[in-house]
Every structure is written in C-alpha cells, then in structure tokens.
Chain A
C-alpha cells in the first residue's frame, strides 16, 4: 500500500458518519495492527447540516491527520458529493448512495452507486443503520482494512442487543 490511505465519509449530521469512521479506524488500528487516525468536522447541527468524518490508515506513523488526497469517498448526500469530489485522487473510489446522489461526478474515478439507504430501510426498516451498511461496502472494496476486523470493530461498538442487526447489515 502507499504511505497513506485516506477515507472520507461524508453526508449529513445524524447519519452516523463519525461512528462509522471510528469503527473503520478501530478495525485498522486495533485489529489489523496498523496505524489509523480518525478526525471529523461538523457544524452546529446534531441532526442535518454537513458532516464528514475522515480516516487515515498507514503502516507508518501518521502526522497530518486530515485527508488531502482521498482514496475513498463515501457520499450519503448530493451536497457532500458535489463538495468533496475535488479532493479525490485520480482512480479514487466513490461510493454514492443511489437514492440520495442522483448527479454522479464525471472524472477519472471508480464509482459505485449503491442502494445504501434503501438497504438499511428495506432490510431492517431503520435508515439509521445506513452507516453500518456503508461500512460493509467499504470493507468489501478496500484492501487496507480486513472485513473480519471491521466486523469485530462493529460488534464492539454498537449498542448491546443490536449486534445481530448490525452484523446482518454489514454482511448483507
């Protein structure tokens, strides 16, 4: 892998992006034995408003903790997709929610337009697990973090009693 693998999870406040970033970083740092740093930027809104969570994964120590040349961008809103694509590397991966993001960016990117919100809603009936569905997609697509580690990290973080729900979403 290159020195830094940069992930940005973007969307709106309340979509669980910070938690998703924490889980992804924990998977890399605690279970895969790599270094990982998770940061976030958010506005005054607890729900709604723009929100992003970033994870840097590296075999080496990580100095600058923010993403500058993104390898993977998750967009759960159109606004986030429009705003953040410019920070994506060439050949970088975009995972965009197929319901929320209708206008996909043009450029030298690898785009996955996936029904993240719909999967969360239809399979579980709860859109708030969209973050875990998205993590599942990321875990499948990204070599820098193993699926098993993401699963372990999810199960150690999610509320007790929802382990099966969350596991199903991740594997689903």
Chain B
C-alpha cells in the first residue's frame, strides 16, 4: 500500500494507526467522545480479516480485548473517562498476566459523567495509578492527528514488545479535530510483534525470564497449553504466594518499563537562548503552548518548551535538567493540577513551578499561557 493523504479526525487516525500496526480485534462500548474509533473499525476490521464486537459494557470490552490478544490477535479498545474507570479492573489483569493490548482514553471532563462533549486532561493520574496494586504504566499523549496515528502504531509496538497494556491518552479536541495527515506506505514504520516461544511446548514456561526480562508468549491454540491467572504466579504461570517468588515478579513487571526507557520515552524539547522560563505540556495544551511561546518571542521573551509524547513513565530526569537552567517552569494542563505534581517532584526545588489550569470544558488558550509567561518573566 502506498502513502495516502487524508483529512481525518484524531479518532479516525487512531483507528487507521491500529490497522497499520496489525490490529485484528476491537471490542468496545459506545461513549462520547471516542465512539468514532469503534464506528471506523466496525466498518474496516471485517474487510481486513479482523473482528469487531460491541460488548454489553466497558468491562466486558476490556475482557474481550485481553481474551483476543491471548489468541495472538493484536487488540484495541477505546473509551473515555467513565468507561476508563470501568476498564481499569481488567487493565490490572493485563498487567499481571502480561497480555499486550492498547486502550485509547479520549479524555473528557469529570469526575463521573462530567462534561461528555468537553475536553479535559484530568485522567493523568488515573492513567498512572488507576488500577489497584503496583503495576507498570505506559501512557502516550499525541498532540495532533498525524501523531495520533504514529503514536497508536507505537502503542501497539510497545505493548507487543514489552507484553504490557499501553494507554493512549488524548482529549476531546485531539480526538475530534480534523487535520490533513499522511498514512505512511506499508513498511515505512517498523511493526513489532510479541516475542513467541522457540522452545518445544513441553519445555515452555510462560514466565521464564532466562532469556530476558520479557518472556515469550504463546498463542492459545498454537500447541502450547499454558495457564493464565490474575493471581500472583511463578514462572510456570501457576498461582503462588511464596514471598520469594512473588516480589521478584512484581519488580520485574515494573522493570519492563524502567529498563526500556530508550524505546518508551519520547518528547520534544525546544530550547531557546537565554530563556529563564520553560513550559511542560502535552496534547492539545501543547498546541496552545506553542502559539503562546511564538507570541512571547515576538515580545522578546524566550521560553523553553518540553512537549511530552510519552507521559508515563514521566521523564523526570529531563525536567530535572531543565530546572538547572530556568527559574520558572509553567505547567498548563486542562485539570486542576495533576502533572504539575510530577514536575514539582522532578525539579527537587531547583525551580519555581506554577500551573495554568482550566477545568471548564474549554481549552486553555494561548493568551492564558502568554499571560502567565509575562507574569513570571
């Protein structure tokens, strides 16, 4: 397939990106503002040798995605805040059983039903700590329609290679906004698949890490009969509560992320000469930030910009280094202060950290950020 230029919504770009990555299964439940992903894949998946199913609720949709992935099918679900709250139960199951899958959360105002049609970035901490228990978290935060496509492909790649669920975190603006974007030709972006066993079935241990931190995963029905359980388990996959076996596995789940930062972390750092102010932002707030920084530059104020493409794991080391240079770090986010806590934790008191917040269902405007830049400069 050759390159193709289209005018798509962020949600459609996510669906297209999923297909590009080799997604063969989608299970979902209708919810604003993410439903377009389901509608798109309901049309396309049966044409591409895949399957689409609308489940009875968000919980079942997340369950079905994990079930499908266990047969070897790359799987996606899409939702928004209230639905994400329901998916968290089985998200934890995917974490502990190490079943690859991708979950799109198009953030809207909350808590509860909140503002179904208004944008928000208030699920930052939910994406990190939403499901109970210690668990690894990867959350990607695209800032455009094109990037929604590429980050969806990357979400699948990371989910597969690291055998872990990956959250795509967009918002109502990124999800519904239409922009021109290019669907790359087939093969232009590398596609990764999960590691599969090379040993014969009788030697297969589903959580054997002797070859590396990511154990190979066998498809159901491929001749490798194994046991999958949400209980803590040993390398054979069967439940255990032996302390000396439980904790190393818990630590390994986290290490899958911390030892693979080179492929997970992604950000854009635009440094300006002599700037004393920096901004950390993502998603649609990063678009407002870019406009504000351009306006500030017209007025002679230079501002550094760290735009996150990976939100979790949070790039603390980058923010910490920024704090060596600038006096003030501004954190614009469409919530009442969530990512700012990570920024504060990262700068270790080396710079002043201040927020630009908005939780009324409207985007943060460039002028709001500009005002803050002027105030602290």
Q: State yes or no: do A and B come from one complex.
A: yes
Q: Which residues of A contact B (CB under 8 A)?
A: 22, 25-26, 29-30, 35-44, 62-66, 68
Chain B residues within 8 Å of A38, by CB: 177-179
Cβ of A36 and Cβ of B179 under 8 Å apart?
yes
Is B275 located at the chain interface by the 8 A CB criterion?
no
Residue pairs across A and B with Cβ atoms less than 8 A apart, 7 shown, are A29-B180, A35-B180, A36-B179, A37-B177, A38-B177, A44-B116, A65-B173
Give the chain B neighbours of A37 by CB distance below 8 A.
177-179
Beyond contacts A64-B288, A68-B367: 18 other A-B pairs, Cβ-Cβ < 8 A, are A22-B178, A29-B7, A29-B180, A30-B180, A35-B180, A36-B179, A37-B177, A38-B179, A39-B177, A42-B117, A62-B179, A63-B287, A63-B288, A63-B294, A65-B287, A66-B173, A66-B363, A66-B365
Residue of B nearest to A3 (CB): B294
A interface secondary structure, majority: mixed
Instruction: Give the 7 A-B residue pairs with the shortest CB-CB distance, closest first.
Output: A63-B290, A29-B180, A38-B178, A63-B291, A64-B291, A63-B287, A26-B7
Mark interface residues in B1-42 (1 if CB within 8 Å of A CB, else 0): 000010100000000000000000000000000000000000
Q: How far is the CA of A22 from the CA of B6 in the complex (A)?
A: 12
User: Could you tell me the distance between the alpha carbons of A22 and B7 in the complex, rounded to whole angstroms?
Assistant: 9
A16 to chain B minimum Cβ distance, whole angstroms, is 15
Tell me the nearest residue of chain B to A66, going by C-beta: B363
- Rounded to whole Å, the gap between the CB of B141 and the closest CB of chain A is 16
The size bracket of the interface on B is 20 to 34
Q: Which residue of B lies closest to A64 (CB)?
A: B291
Across the interface, which residues of A come within 8 angstroms of B7, CB to CB?
A: 22, 25-26, 29-30, 36
Q: Bound complex: CA of A43 vs CA of B115, how far in Å?
A: 10
On whether the beta carbons of B180 and A36 are closer than 8 Å, the reply is yes
CB distance from B60 to the nearest CB of A (A): 25
Most B-side CB within 10 Å, residue of A38, A40, A63: A63
A25 to B366, CA, bound (A): 22
Given A30-B5, A64-B366, A25–B178 Cβ distance below 8 Å?
yes
In the complex, how many angstroms separate the beta carbon of B286 from the nearest chain A beta carbon?
8
In this complex, what residue of A is CB-closest to B363? Answer: A66
Question: B284 within 8 Å of A by Cβ?
Answer: yes
Cα–Cα distance between A25 and B284 once the two chains are bound (Å): 19
Q: Across the interface, do B117 and A44 meet the contact criterion of CB distance under 8 Å?
A: yes
